[in-house]
C-alpha cells in the first residue's frame, strides 16, 4: 500500500483565513475546517479554484500572522482540499503549531467541562 494515499489524521477546527492565488493581488476569505500536517479542507463558496493551482494562505494564531503555500488537490461546491507545500522546516512548524494550538485549546475546554461535571455529580 502506498503511504502517500493514506490520509493524515485530521484535527477539526474553524479558522478564518485569507488566501490568494500565486499570481493574484486580491485576497479572498475562507475557513479552514480541518487540518493535518499534510493539508487541510478550505471551506469557500462561489469559487473558481482549480486542481493543481497554487495558493498562499494567511492566518493568525496566538496573535501572530502566519503564511504558508498550498496546492489545490480537489474541489467541490463547498470548498477545496489543499496540500501544504512547505518551503522550509519553519513552514512545517507553523502547521504543527496550529494543530497543537487547536488541540490544546480543545483539551482546555474539555478540562473545564469535566471539572464542572465532577462538581455537579
Q: How do residues 24-54 score in pLDDT, each as one tens digit?
A: 888 999 999 999 989 999 999 888 899 999 9
Q: Looking at the chain, which runs of residues are DSSP E strands?
A: 11-21, 28-35, 39-43, 54-61, 64-75, 79-84
Domain ranges of the chain: 3-120
Q: Residue 108: what pLDDT? A: 62
Give the residue among 48, 46, 28, 33 at the shortest CA–CA distance from 81.
33
Mean pLDDT check: name the lowest of 22-36, 53-67, 92-106: 92-106
Cα 39-9-34 angle, rounded to 5 deg: 50
The CATH number of 3-120, from 2.60.40.730, 2.40.10.220, 3.30.70.1290, 2.60.40.10, is 2.40.10.220
Rounded distance between C-alpha atoms, residue 116 and residue 113, angstroms: 5
Contact status, residue 60 vs residue 66, Cβ threshold 8 Å: yes
Q: Residue 1: what pLDDT? A: 43
Rounded distance between C-alpha atoms, residue 110 and residue 77, angstroms: 33
State the residue for C-alpha cell 502566519.
66
What dihedral do alpha carbons 95, 98, 104, 105 form, nearest 10°? -160
Amino acid at each position: 500500500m502506498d503511504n502517500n494515499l493514506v490520509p493524515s489524521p485530521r484535527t477539526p477546527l474553524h479558522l478564518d483565513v485569507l488566501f490568494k492565488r500565486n499570481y493574484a493581488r486580491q485576497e479572498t476569505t475562507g475557513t479552514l475546517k480541518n487540518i493535518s500536517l499534510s493539508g487541510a479542507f478550505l471551506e469557500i463558496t462561489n469559487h473558481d479554484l482549480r486542481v493543481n493551482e497554487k495558493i498562499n494562505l494567511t492566518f493568525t494564531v496566538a496573535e501572530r500572522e502566519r503564511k504558508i503555500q498550498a496546492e489545490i488537490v480537489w474541489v467541490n461546491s463547498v470548498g477545496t482540499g489543499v496540500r501544504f507545500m512547505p518551503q522550509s522546516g519553519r513552514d512545517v512548524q507553523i502547521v504543527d503549531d496550529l494543530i497543537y494550538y487547536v488541540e490544546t485549546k480543545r483539551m482546555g475546554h474539555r478540562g473545564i467541562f469535566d471539572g464542572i461535571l465532577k462538581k455537579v455529580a
